[in-house]
Every structure is written in C-alpha cells, then in structure tokens.
Amino acid sequence: MSDHAIRVDELVKKYGPVVAVDRINFSVAPGELVGFLGPNGAGKSTTMRILTTFMPATSGIAQVCGHDVMENPMAVRQNIGYLPESVPLYPEMRVEEYLLYRAKLKGVDRTNRRKRLEESLEKCRVKEVRRRLLGTLSKGYRQRIGLADAMLADPKVLILDEPTSGLDPIQIRETLAAIKSFAGSHTVLLSTHILSEVEAICDRVIIINRGSIWWDGRLSSLASEIPTLVMDLTGPEPAISDWFKKVAGTRPANIIPGEEGIVRCEVEQSAGDDLRETLAKQAVERGFGLRRLDIRRKNLDTLYSEVVLRRSAS
C-alpha cells in the first residue's frame, strides 16, 4: 500500500492537439486539505476527472489510496467522493430518495444508509429540503446536495471541483465549515477561484497554470518569505530607474511603469535592512513625487498573482 492518499506522476492529458495537463507531479498525504488553484483552463478539472476515473489520462500515473485509476478504477471509486464542476442530478427525484439511491450505488450497506444520509444532510445543511424535488432546487442547494452525495459513503478522499461556486456568502461559510470538519481524518483536494477560501481552510496550496504545476507548498511557509518594499514615484522614468537600481544594489529589484505617470519600484526587504528612510529622503532630494511607500508581506493573493502573471508573461 502507498502512504499517499493521492499520487500523480508525470500525468499528461491531451485533448487532440490541446495539452491540458503536461507532465504534472504531486502527492497528497492522508489527512491533508489541499487547495488546487489556477486560472480558467489551467487543467484543474481535467486532473480531477482523471483522479476520479471519469476520464483516462493520455500517459502517466494517477493513484488514490494506492490504487491506480486505470488498473483498479472500482477500488478508486470506493475510496473517493467527487463533486464535479456541474452536478448531474435527476430532476424528478426527491433529495432523500436520490441520496439513498446513491448510497446504495456506492455500496453503503442497508443498515447504515439512513445513518449516513442523516449525517450528510446535517453536515451539508440541506435537511430543510430533504423532501423537495431535485429539479426545483436553487443552484446553491443543488451544489450542496452534490457535496452531501460526495460525503455520503464516508470516503477516505474527497475531490471537490469548485464546491462553493454559485453559493451565497452564508452558504459559502457553511460549506467551508462542512469541508473543514470532514478534513483531518479524511483527505481533501479542492479547486476554487476564491483565494480567501483557501486561506481560511487549506494547509497547502498547489497552483497549476497552463497544464503545469508552478507552486506547491504550505501556506504557513509564506510567512517566512522575504517581504517586498513597494514605492510609487512620479517623475522621469529613466532617472527613477537609474537611481532606484543603484540604491537597491545587489537586492533583486523591479521597476514597473504604471498609469498616470506613476513608476512603481519594488525591492526585496530582507530582515534588519529597512531601506524606507533612505529611499524616502533620497527620492525627495531628487525631486521625485512620493505617492506610496510600504512593505508588502507575501500572502496567497500576492503569491498567486506573482506565479500566474509573471510566469504567463515569460
């Protein structure tokens, strides 16, 4: 048995000429709650569809709880709960009836079905709609029935493709709480575009862009990253640029000409080496207009922009 809950090795998926996933590697340990981030078309849903056996890979390995998705898809399915991007539901079935039917399909034995149903309804806060027809539910409720379905058989691994998309703010909070409470004893891989959700509940983040993994790390590691000093100046750009690079010396620096004649200057701010006073004084002496001067600590938002924007440009 593998000690990974999820393992992806040199995974490739091509749709005709389109390379949606391009030799990606990552693994997720049991009990981890991982946010899977990336812009539209990055390859998140494709990776999740392969991991959940809904689509074959072009090459490479994908495993869940030590079972290969190609060699042993039934064992993989028994270990996962999957919330796809758009939840297919039978409109003419009632919520309770549907979930009991799903529990049966998932092999939950008869004596446990009711109990599992009640737990899922409770966790996903959908008790009040248990007797409603699926076809009459609002988008947010349909989404949460999909989540209840994913958690129904108490799977070891949950794979959730944008579980909060289309939910109202209160529902989002409740859904995140449900996911968080499910994690710990379980493993969760979830995709989302809302960075604050990831900051609220995930331990670790994987950023995928154009089919490749660009960042994979713990959120807590961001706190120890070197902050950036950001200075917005007005004045002739060549003069600002020459001067700023001189002051920055060997520290990595960036000059970014912006709108309304503002030139943004950025430099790494290492510990015990505060350049703010020097920069402010010299900028004024040189006649530049000072519009902003502060220290930007790295958070998920700055990391994401850095990874996705800078590397898209390269």
Residues that bind ligand ATP (CB under 6 A): 15, 18, 20, 38, 40-46
Q: Which does 41 bind (CB under 5 to 8 A by kind): ligand ATP, Mg ion, none?
A: ligand ATP
Does 164 contact Mg ion by CB under 5 A?
no
Tell me how far apart the alpha carbons of residues 27 and 63 are, in angstroms, rounded to a whole number. Answer: 9
Least gap, CB of 312 to ligand ATP (angstroms): 14
Q: Which does 314 bind (CB under 5 to 8 A by kind): ligand ATP, Mg ion, none?
A: none
Tell me, what amino acid is at 117? L
Helix or strand run (H / E) with residue 234? strand 228-234
Least gap, CB of 146 to Mg ion (angstroms): 14
Q: Is the Cβ of residue 44 or residue 186 nearer to Mg ion in the bound state? A: 44
DSSP string for residues in 42-63? SSHHHHHHHHTTSS--SEEEEE
Least gap, CB of 83 to Mg ion (angstroms): 12
Count of residues interacting with Mg ion (CB under 5 A): 2
Angle between helices 139-151 and 95-105 (to 10 degrees): 30
Q: Which does 50 bind (CB under 5 to 8 A by kind): ligand ATP, Mg ion, none?
A: none
Separation in Å, CA 244 to CA 70, 249, 264, 273? 56, 9, 10, 16
User: Which range, of 41-49, 98-106, 253-261, 270-278, touches Mg ion by CB under 5 A?
Assistant: 41-49
**Number of Cβ atoms within 10 Å of the Cβ of 18:** 10
Least gap, CB of 40 to Mg ion (angstroms): 7
How many angstroms separate the first and last alpha carbons of the chain? 41
Does 46 contact Mg ion by CB under 5 A?
no
Least gap, CB of 50 to ligand ATP (angstroms): 10
Does 45 contact Mg ion by CB under 5 A?
yes
CA 73 to chain CA centroid, nearest Å = 25
Contacts with Mg ion, residue ranges (CB under 5 A):
44-45
